[in-house]
């Protein structure tokens, strides 16, 4: 697979129109996210240009549109606030270094081929932290929505200051913000393909502020410096380097997840498979370059990607077109942004926050699963009031523990002991005859399903209550995988049986299972004839061994040849 993304010239009209539409959507969003992050509107534009340009060049999803997104902006806001509080003079430069580091991490993710694993996360966790991010974005916009700067202290600081903000709200700015929010919310969907609601809201809000509210002293963006951005050299300080690396890792994981989930959306719309590892590489290069030139981080943007595809784009030429159009804005249209009210951008960002929240799953999570609902609400709370990495780590851990517990209980039912002849299909007719002749002195320990560590406890319990027997047959015929924990329990079982003078036969061990047993030295403890792929052969050899024992005693527990099965499940 080549280094560059897929470019073709057989759909120039569709790609150019898709790029144009995506650029129109990107402009107000980039300005809004730049202001919301604390880095400024210019940083939002630089991020939209650079992330979009390099992700389109080197990514693995031809129609993906990459730019600053709500989730990435939320994390970047916290990064900037923390680093400026710790180092007022160099905090902003350090924040851009964090963006560069995040890009490096994503490049490494792609080179290490971790793409397929990034999205292997329980939906309850994904839903929870996305909803949490949406709530954070909404809370952080409450100050600007009411006509004030965002209070210090993040979510808790804003909530503590909310009564004061509400008591001294600026009616004009609040009306502009609320009007912007309402316009986007009520905008007819059929018009969105022609003219994005965010751009309409930006234009309408700005016109109203200039001609209707000209007598009001509104807070505005101000003129954005035109021309190319300045180079931001990486900057570390000994006191904050650990915090910077952790923040970069959070940005990298979140950006990777955001991009690949959007790639899945693009794949479903285009019916064309994407390369997850290549996409991570492209996203990493984009964020590295964005941080290097003072831009905020970005990821795959669902809204821009969907509109790009719906307007006819099929290759990465659309992403390049979008980036080049935004370059024109950066170079020559800076003065045109001077009159844009901050309240309008707050209304746009507030609507993005509501869109990020997973309303659909929130409404029915409790009906789907109580445990799932608890995990989701816990992740939401941790995301909002603690931090994202803690929320995701604990959410994934708890969800996986619950899943493993459920799988272990299910798989434990496939672990059973057969003492005598079985009439329920576990043994063939010939095998049943052998078992009847042995009269309960042969014990078949049947192991089914993946023997993961969660099943080890069930094996150990059954081992502790094994019935009397003279020969042990371990049947791995239906066990494709043997985990370390389960293998150690079985090793102990083999050693104890051999120590008591009872021969052990291993049956049906596949390549993976046999390799595990060989590494533990279990196979080496047994005669070569005691390891076979056919259960009947093992039973015949076990019966012959019993017949050769001069002191063997007949066990009549089966009684007159009657067939019986003794199955002990976990905890029985």
* Crossing angle of the two packed helices 484-499 and 453-464, in degrees rounded to 10: 20
Residues 298, 302, 307, 310, CA torsion sign: positive
Closest residue by Cα to residue 414 from 449, 445, 443? 449
* Residue spans of alpha helices (H) in 500-572: 511-520, 535-548
Reported as a pLDDT band with limits 50, 70 and 90, residue 524 is very high
Reported as a pLDDT band with limits 50, 70 and 90, residue 419 is confident
The reported pLDDT for the residue numbered 466 is 79
Percent above pLDDT 70 for the chain:
95
Structure-token pair, residue 123: 């939906």
Structure-token pair, residue 266: 């693009």
Structure-token pair, residue 396: 């994934």
Q: pLDDT, tens digit, for every residue of 303-323?
A: 899 888 988 889 999 999 999
Mean pLDDT of the chain: 88
Section 239-256 average pLDDT: 92
Q: Is the pLDDT of residue 555 over 50?
A: no
Helix (H) or strand (E) holding 473: strand 471-478
User: Looking at the whole model, is its pTM more than 0.85?
Assistant: no
Which residue matches tokens 């329920």? 424
Distance, in Å, from the CA atom of 425 to the CA atom of 141, rounded to the nearest integer, reads: 66
Reported as a pLDDT band with limits 50, 70 and 90, residue 324 is very high
Q: Is the pLDDT of residue 294 over 70?
A: yes
Structure-token pair, residue 570: 């976990």
Reported as a pLDDT band with limits 50, 70 and 90, residue 567 is very low
Higher pLDDT, 115 or 10: 115
Q: Is the pLDDT of residue 550 over 70?
A: no
- Domains of the chain: which residue ranges? 12-402, 414-558
Distance, in Å, from the CA atom of 350 to the CA atom of 364, rounded to the nearest integer, reads: 24
On whether the CB atoms of residues 69 and 299 are closer than 8 A, the answer is yes
The reported pLDDT for the residue numbered 407 is 81
Distance, in Å, from the CA atom of 272 to the CA atom of 552, rounded to the nearest integer, reads: 68
The reported pLDDT for the residue numbered 459 is 87
Residues 6 or more apart whose Cβ sits within 8 Å of residue 532: 505, 506, 507, 538, 541
Q: Is the pLDDT of residue 422 over 80?
A: no
Which bin fits 343, alpha (ψ -120 to 50), beta or left (φ > 0)?
Answer: alpha
Q: pLDDT, tens digit, for every residue of 454-494?
A: 888 888 888 888 788 889 999 999 899 999 999 999 999 99
* Residue spans of alpha helices (H) in 41-90: 41-58, 70-86
Q: Is the pLDDT of residue 346 over 50?
A: yes
Distance, in Å, from the CA atom of 479 to the CA atom of 482, rounded to the nearest integer, reads: 7
Which residue matches tokens 């960002």? 349
Section 57-86 average pLDDT: 93
Section 63-73 average pLDDT: 94
- For the sheet containing 442-448, what is the strand order? 415-418, 442-448, 471-478, 504-507, 531-532
The reported pLDDT for the residue numbered 58 is 95
Reported as a pLDDT band with limits 50, 70 and 90, residue 253 is very high
On whether the CB atoms of residues 408 and 454 are closer than 8 A, the answer is yes
Distance, C-alpha 330 to centroid of its chain: 34
Q: Which CATH number fits domain 414-558: 3.40.190.10, 3.30.750.24, 3.60.150.10, 3.40.50.2000?
A: 3.30.750.24
Out of 174-178, 296-300, 433-437, 536-540, which region has the weakest mean confidence (pLDDT)?
433-437
Q: Is the pLDDT of residue 568 over 50?
A: no
Q: Is the pLDDT of residue 551 over 80?
A: no
Q: Is the pLDDT of residue 382 over 90?
A: yes
């Amino acid at each position: 697979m080549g280094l560059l993304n897929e470019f073709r010239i057989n759909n120039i009209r569709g790609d150019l129109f898709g790029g144009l539409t995506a650029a129109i959507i990107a402009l107000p969003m980039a300005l809004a996210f730049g202001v919301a992050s604390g880095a400024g509107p210019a940083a939002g534009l630089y991020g939209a240009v650079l992330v979009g340009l390099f992700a389109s060049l080197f990514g693995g999803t031809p129609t993906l549109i990459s730019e600053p997104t709500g989730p990435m902006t939320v994390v970047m806001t916290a990064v900037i606030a923390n680093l400026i509080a710790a180092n007022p003079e160099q905090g902003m430069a350090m924040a851009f270094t964090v963006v560069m580091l995040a890009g490096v991490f994503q490049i490494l993710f792609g080179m290490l081929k971790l793409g397929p694993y990034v999205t292997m996360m329980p939906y309850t966790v994904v839903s929870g932290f996305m909803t949490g991010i949406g709530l954070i974005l909404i809370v952080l916009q409450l100050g600007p929505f009411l006509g004030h700067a965002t209070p210090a202290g993040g979510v808790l600081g804003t909530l503590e200051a909310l009564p004061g903000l509400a008591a001294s709200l600026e009616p004009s700015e609040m009306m502009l913000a609320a009007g912007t929010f309402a316009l986007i919310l009520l905008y007819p969907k059929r018009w969105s393909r022609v003219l994005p609601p965010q751009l309409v809201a930006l234009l309408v809000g700005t016109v109203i502020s200039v001609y209707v509210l000209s007598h009001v002293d509104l807070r505005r963006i101000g003129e954005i410096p035109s021309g190319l951005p300045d180079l931001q050299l990486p900057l570390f300080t000994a006191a904050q380097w650990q915090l910077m690396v952790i923040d970069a890792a959070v940005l990298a994981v979140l950006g990777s997840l955001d991009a690949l989930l959007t790639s899945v959306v693009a794949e479903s719309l285009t019916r064309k498979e994407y390369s997850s590892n290549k996409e991570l590489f492209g996203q990493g290069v984009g964020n590295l370059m964005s941080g290097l030139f003072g831009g905020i981080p970005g990821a795959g943007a669902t809204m821009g990607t969907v509109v790009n595809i719906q307007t006819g784009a099929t290759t990465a030429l659309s992403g390049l077109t979008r980036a080049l159009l935004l370059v024109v804005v950066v170079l020559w249209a800076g003065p045109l942004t001077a009159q844009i009210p901050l309240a309008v951008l707050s209304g746009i960002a507030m609507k993005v926050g509501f869109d990020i929240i997973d309303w659909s799953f929130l409404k029915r999570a409790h009906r789907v699963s109580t445990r799932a609902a608890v995990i989701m609400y816990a992740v939401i709370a941790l995301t909002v009031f603690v931090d994202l990495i803690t929320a995701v780590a604990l959410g994934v851990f708890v969800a996986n523990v619950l899943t493993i517990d459920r799988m272990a209980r299910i798989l434990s039912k496939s672990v059973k002991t057969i003492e005598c002849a079985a009439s329920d299909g576990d043994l063939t007719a010939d095998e049943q005859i052998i078992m009847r002749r042995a009269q309960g002195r042969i014990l078949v320990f049947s192991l089914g399903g993946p023997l993961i560590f969660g099943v080890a406890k069930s094996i150990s319990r059954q081992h502790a209550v094994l019935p009397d027997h003279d020969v042990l047959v371990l049947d791995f015929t239906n066990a494709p995988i043997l985990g370390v924990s389960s293998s150690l329990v079985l090793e102990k079982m083999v050693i104890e049986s051999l120590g008591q003078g009872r021969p052990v036969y291993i049956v049906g061990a596949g390549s993976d299972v046999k390799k595990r047993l060989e590494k533990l030295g279990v196979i080496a403890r047994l005669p070569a004839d005691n390891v076979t792929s056919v259960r009947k052969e093992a039973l015949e050899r076990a019966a012959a061994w019993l017949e050769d024992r001069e002191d063997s005693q007949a066990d009549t527990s089966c009684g007159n040849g009657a067939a019986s099965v003794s199955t002990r499940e976990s905890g029985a």
